[in-house]
Amino acid sequence: MSSNVVFQLKLHPLTGNSEWVVIQEDQNDDVQQPLLATTSYLDMLNDSARNRAYRQAIEKTITKPSHVLDIGAGTGLLSMMAARAMGSKGRVTACESYLPMVKLMKKVMRVNGMGGRIKVINKRSDELQVGGDIPSRADVLVSEILDSELLGEGLIPTLQHAHDNLLSENPLTVPYRATTYGQLVESSFLRQLHDLHNNEASVPDDICLTPPGLEGVLSVKRQQYAMHCDPIRKEIKLLSEPFKIFEFDFWKRPESYGESELCVKATNDGRVHAVVSWWVLQLDREGTIYYSTAPRWISSATTTSPIGWCDHWKQCVWFVPGNGISISKGEEICLHATHTDTTISYNFDTRVSTSEVSHHGMTAENFQLVLSPERAAIYGDKAWRLSMLKAVESVLQGRVRSLCLVADDSVFLPLLVAHLSEASHVISLLPGLKERGLQYLLGVAHDNHLSPNHIEVLGKRAKQVTLDDTDQKKVDLLIAEPFYFGNDGMLPWQNLRFWKDRTSVDSILSEDALIIPSKGILKACAISLPDLWKSRCCLSKIEGFDHSVVLSEAFDVMEFDFSKQIHQCEGKSKVNFTKSGVCHGFVLWIDWVMDLQNSVVISTGPDKRYWKQGVKLLATPKTVGPEISKNAQACYSAVLEAIFNPSNGDLKIVHEFL
């Protein structure tokens, strides 16, 4: 292809709405085009181990002219492999439901001279009709409809419909089989991602988000979470050997529900905090071609040697509730695994105590406020809580009766303000949590010995708030973390929605209203990221088809001043490289300044484990180094410029190497 293709999840930080978009970037226009956040589709196409395994299996399986059906065809790579394997004969039908991808696939096929050999259908596979869309049932199925959990992209219902309606009896399939494996682990880091109740034991603010008897009322969803486990290997203690969980055959109709009873023997003393799982694809019938998502510490004949870093498929983590389960070496523990059409879950044979009923009839069993693991970890983080405490104490000093408006979905700040100033009235917007947030705050306010009369929930967006909602009183304190429910995993500056909210409520702010955070600082540093760059680099030859370490100190790029209404911002900064190496891009993040004195700053930078940063990748990596290195080929400095557009929330990043 003649251009880079970027699949980007665009979130409008001023409205909270998001959509997938396809961006085509000219390779020679890298200075003008930002590449801040992409999906893992490019990473998948650049996964040489995956591509090689599929090619080998397709060439081994399709040895004569056949009717091949490719479900979820994407850019058509597997379809083209199948067509090439059959030569000039046979038929390939490529089924893809996403229209932008279909347009791209047709372009790829034209470039490769296969436009007339593959029939492309823009439908979901369960919408295909034999005799209409395809003339007859297919003899061969090739597919790659797998996520990190294996089942999340609808593998089971897709295979069920295909076997019932689209495939011949005893079809050939690539892959042939998938097997899921698991391992018991101990990890304090993984425990912190879900065990908010025990994490709160050391916090300094006397606020309890998970009161006794309601330990699970603020929790993470009981599901598997896709996660890179290799980077935290030193923080993981293995407590068992790997064990097989489920097996799914592509060549026959799968069941929607399955159970597996496992007795797992402990290989070490410890506490089981999580189940780490992965899957292994057997791509051919004979069992000679495999692909594995196992962590790098796993090595066996069936998992093959560990593959290189990739982002499209990770391991999965299932958190064991609370502080985990104590286990001794040699002891067996019973694990009950179940799968549905789309998920795999686990349950240990242990007794769980019954939660007490709160003063408002709320129990952890009948009501849960579900947060992301990262947000649960942040709420239990001692340093973060201390920073928030200092910031709120500072702005409340000297204010006896304040009207506080919490603009975001924070459930911590309303309780903190009410705790520090009993005479203040707190109004929470909770635009995403709404009634769930209200019920939660009423329950835990009582358990924190706070009067529920001091906390009011509107459940509105900021632009809908008027003086009628405040009894005609002006707001003295506008505050946010900032955090918006449902935006977890997005880039830090996408919480600049707070700036838009601050602007929307400007008419109800008092003349001396204080705003927390007072400003945001966009920061960056140059970094060497060979794995990430490779996974997102422009696509070149893929199996014969044309798909055309920190190097600087952190530096400020520009500021967002929340004391003023939202407006266009521009910033430019020069950075000198402090280390020699290959620069693949710039990591960007926001530091939230929480007070006017600049004394309380909450950073979302790379050294903060629970936050996500953005990356501006280069089209071509640059050799860089300090000027004293005397490397004539190296760039000694770079200029980074950022432009924030308040009309659509876009953040444009431009760079120049000197």
Query: CA-to-CA distance for 217 and 141, rounded, in angstroms?
Result: 45
Per DSSP, 361 falls in state S
Angle between helices 382-396 and 412-420 in degrees, nearest 10: 50
| Identity of the amino acid at 59 | E
**Amino acid at position 132, single letter:** G
Q: How far apart are CA 61 and CA 141, in angstroms?
A: 10
- Residue 166 Cα distances to 95, 134, 257, 284, angstroms: 12, 9, 22, 21
* 552 within 8 A of 574, measured Cβ to Cβ: no
Selecting among 96, 144, 149, 186, the annotated active-site residue is 144
CA–CA–CA angle 649, 653, 658 (5° rounding) = 165
Looking at residue 321, the DSSP 8-state letter turns out to be: S
Do 70 and 109 contact (CB within 8 A), yes or no? no
Give residue 361's identity as a one-letter amino acid code.
G
Residue 153 annotated to the active site:
yes
Q: Is 144 a catalytic residue?
A: yes
Please, which residues have CB within 8 angstroms of residue 472's CB and are 6 or more apart in sequence? none
Half-sphere exposure of 37 (CA within 13 A, CB side): 21
What is the enclosing helix (H) or strand (E) of 534? helix 530-536
Give the position of tokens 């919490």. 406
Give, for 391, the enclosing helix (H) or strand (E).
helix 382-396
Q: Is 72 helix (H, G, I), strand (E, B) or coil?
A: coil
Pairing of the two strands 614-624 and 637-644: unpaired
**With contact defined as beta carbons under 8 Å apart, do 358 and 364 qualify?**
no
C-alpha to C-alpha distance for 122 and 114, rounded to whole angstroms: 17
Single out the residue of 114, 130, 125, 46 nearest to residue 81, CA to CA.
Answer: 114
Three-state secondary structure readout of 80-116: HHHHHHHCCCCEEEEECCCHHHHHHHHHHHHHCCCCC
Asked if 217 contacts 166 with a C-beta cutoff of 8 angstroms, the reply is no
Kind and range of the H or E run holding 518? none
Can you tell me the distance from the alpha carbon of 291 to that of 400, in angstroms, rounded to the nearest whole number? 64
Q: Which of these is catalytic: 153, 247, 456, 559? A: 153
Separation between Cα atoms, residue 458 and residue 48, nearest integer Å: 52
Catalytically active residues are 144, 153
